[in-house]
A and B are shown apart, each in its own frame.
Chain A
Amino acid sequence: MNVDKAGLIKMKGKTERTGISSQTKASITGLLMVIPSFALLVFTVIIPISLAVKESFLDTDRAFSLKNYTYLFTDKAMQSNLMFTLNLTLISTALTLLIGYLLAIYLRFNEGRITDWIRKLYYIPMFVPGVIATYGIINMYGNHGWLMRIGNALGFESFPRFIYDYNGLLLANLWFNIPFTTMLLSSALAGIPNSVIESARDVGAGKISIFAKFIVPMTYKTLLVAATFSFMGMIGAFTAPFLIGPNAPQVLGVAMQQSFSIYHEVGIASAMAVFMFLLCSGMGYFYIRSMIKEEPAAR
């Protein structure tokens, strides 16, 4: 170990001493290798976002104004769209995390045939394209879907509404996000050695304190990652809301598409996009901050 380090330092010294020309060469090569990805970033992220930001501050006469934002936050329909989206996203994120966490914990601490089957099957939804899954939901939960037909045959009369309703969107969000969340959390739980749990039991910890004092602290970072990914995916959801969402209120993604391509209100659509971007960057900020924060337990 020590020898390795010493060797490494020596080597570094050597490359430094071989002269400025090779160093310059190296930095030019480095620059050349960075340019493509930087260009990609500029043309696909920075320029579009800047344009959208600029667009969102222009009124119909292309003059600077805050009209789009005023509209976004004061118009009744828009307000309810915003609330609807936030509500749906937060509830979906919370439920996804809850169900994913419970499922992952169940899979981590149980054995048997049923558990094996769940372990093999739970991530299948990740491999089903969104459109197909959405049509599946329509077929299953629609007004003449399988659920209703089976229910009717069994004598049930009334059903909760799924299609063109909040419930359906919630269901779709869960379907799309639980598998990935469970997968993330499972790998975090797999990282907890058995002897950690067993030694906790050995000193007298019951199930609840093992969960609160060991499992949660050792997985909360991954929980945060899962929350961030779920939130970001759901707040910009489009396919399912477009196909099975209610006409009013609408999810932001659908509302944006309508302002843009049906009403040609580019400014308002841009304002919505900027707002969503800010929400996501807020999430991203917290995510990155907590990832960077020096974990004392980590090496």
Chain B
Amino acid sequence: MDVKEEEVLLSIRSLQKTYKTGDGVRDINLDIRKGELITLLGPSGCGKTTVLRTIGGFLNPDAGEVKIENQSILHLPPEKRPTAMVFQSYNLWPHMTVYDNLAFGLKLRKTGKQQIREKVEQVLKLVRLPGTEKKYPSQLSGGQQQRVAVARALLLEPKVLLLDEPFSALDAKLRMEMREELREIQAAGNLTMVFVTHDQEEALSISDRIVVMNSGRIEQVASPQDIYDQPSSLFVAQFIGRMNFLNGQASKDGIQVQSLRFGNDKGLAGEVTVAVRPEDMVMQDPSAAGMSGTVRQVMVLGHYAEVSVETPAGMTKVFLPREEARALLTGAEVHLGISRATAYSKTS
């Protein structure tokens, strides 16, 4: 993509892996910078784990190349790769204490006893679990177990840390805390991480860049901001955030939605789908150009309200400040404008 060659730590080229069932991933190209937290985001079954496990060495790709610091790692087994993986669950070894779980990898690397003790203590402090050395995994909560799992991976000082939905089994509040902590640790250590999730909110909140995947392919790679503001495909537009989809007509002069008109920079033609975020819909004076509609429902959700408006171009959600929404009644005629929109051809 737009990553300079000398910055690239992990590079994936034309990766392909097809299972016997025909599922799998294709045409995966990705460059990841050092110190970057990149998220693989997509619905369940789109191939995120497959890509991650190929990087980690648990799967052999059918074709393509995976390089770290410009060296191919494909011939290496997982135990020899400069990667470390945090799994979704059952990460910890149930028959070992937290200390042994953490020390095992270091022992294999012939680290001195004293040094192991120091490192374990340090990393436990980092994940906010000091003093738990003697506990067994079953004596920890799910969140604590995942923290230890992250700690164990960090201890190996991998060049790339791979995380496969590590927080998806935790409840919402804990999940939020854990991802903040992870982001802090990542930023403080300038660590490179590939984070898999199917939760778009999670991806938007922690990533430097997001890779949106759909049925085995990459749909878009961009910063959370760009993914949100400029979804490159209808799939991304549907998958990320709330979105209205209106029927429009494209021609050389622009894109027409009812009486509203936008620029046609993609050069589309014919029937198009116009995607508008609810916060980009605005209420307008009847005198201004716009689209008329009927209010069907007003829901006050905290500091803002979600208003459903039926228009000739389709049912539309509009986010309004609570005060503005107070005046609206079901059945009222309103006039809508659009401050920003993206159009997609209907055929693709």
Contact = CB atoms under 8 A, between A and B. Distances in A.
B85 A199 contact: yes
Contact of B85 (A202, A204, A206, A217): A202
A298 interface: yes
Interface in A208-234: 209, 213-214, 217-218
Interface string B268-279: 000000000000
B45 interface: no
Given A198-B58, A209-B108, 4 more contacts: A202-B78, A204-B79, A204-B156, A297-B94
A205 B79 contact: yes
Interface string B129-172: 00000001110000000000100110010000000000000000
17 contacts: A193-B89, A195-B88, A195-B89, A195-B91, A198-B78, A198-B87, A199-B87, A199-B91, A201-B79, A202-B78, A202-B83, A203-B156, A205-B104, A214-B95, A296-B136, A298-B138, A299-B138
Interface in B69-100: 77-80, 83-85, 87-91, 93-96
Interface SS of chain A: helix, strand, loop or mixed? helix
A203 B83 CA distance: 9
A196 interface: yes
Contact of A204 (B94, B95, B108): B108
Given A213-B104, A297-B95, A202 B56 contact: yes
Contact of A218 (B78, B95, B104): B95
A193 B92 CA distance: 10
A205 B156 CA distance: 13
Given A202-B56, A203-B108, A297-B138, A193 B90 contact: yes
A88 B104 CA distance: 40
A209 to B, nearest CB: 7
Contact of B78 (A195, A201, A214): A201
Interface string B45-59: 000000000001010
Interface in A53-75: none
Interface string B218-248: 0000000000000000000000000000000
A200 interface: yes
Contacts of A205: 79, 104, 108
A167 to B, nearest CB: 39
Interface string A250-286: 0000000000000000000000000000000000000
Contacts of A298: 138
Contacts of A196: 90, 93-94
A204 B138 contact: no
Nearest to B94: A297
B303 interface: no
B108 A195 contact: no
Contact of A198 (B85, B96, B152): B85
Nearest to B89: A195
B87 A195 contact: yes
Contacts of A195: 87-91
Contacts of B95: 214, 217-218, 297
B109 interface: yes
A200 B93 CA distance: 8
Contacts of A218: 94-95
Nearest to A193: B90
Nearest to A214: B93
A46 B78 CA distance: 58
A201 B76 CA distance: 12
Interface in B11-61: 56, 58
Nearest to B105: A203
A193 B94 CA distance: 11
A219 to B, nearest CB: 10
A217 B91 CA distance: 17
Interface in A170-214: 193, 195-196, 198-206, 209, 213-214
Contacts of B56: 202
Contacts of A206: 79
Contacts of B149: 199
A39 to B, nearest CB: 41
Given A213-B104, A217-B95, A218-B94, A202 B84 contact: yes
A208 B105 CA distance: 14
Given A193-B90, A195-B87, A218-B94, A201 B152 contact: no
B152 A203 contact: yes
A296 B84 CA distance: 28
List the 8 closest pairs (A to B, CB-CB), nearest first: A203-B105, A193-B90, A195-B87, A204-B108, A201-B78, A195-B90, A204-B79, A217-B95
Contacts of A198: 58, 78, 85, 87
